[in-house]
Amino acid sequence: MNQTALLNGDFFYDLSVVAQNEGLLKRAVKYIKRLAKEQKADPSLMTEEEFFAKLDRAEEQFQRGEGIRFTDREQMNAWLNSL
């Protein structure tokens, strides 16, 4: 049995327990709505097609010599810390 099926089983079992208590059920619904809203609002989420298009653009920029290059780890860390 795969991990998703196990998680689904656990989720629905726990949901049946929560569903018997109105207070818990209201809290669960509120939390699930918040999770769903965050999922939609996450700007880092992209389709597989968008991801590979972004990689293609980055490779083209690299081929043109654009971008930032580092000669050592300290230089890279200094740049990352400046963000």
For 63-81, the pLDDT digits (tens) are: 998 888 889 999 999 999 9
Please say whether the beta carbons of 51 and 60 come within 8 A.
no
DSSP 33-57: HHHHHHHHH-TT---HHHHHHHHHH
pLDDT digits (tens, 9 = 90+) for 1-56: 688 888 888 888 888 888 899 999 999 999 988 888 777 666 777 888 999 999 99
Question: What local confidence, expressed as pLDDT, does residue 5 receive?
Answer: 84
| pLDDT given at position 3 | 85
Q: 60: pLDDT confidence band, cut at 50, 70 and 90?
A: very high
pLDDT of residue 4: 86
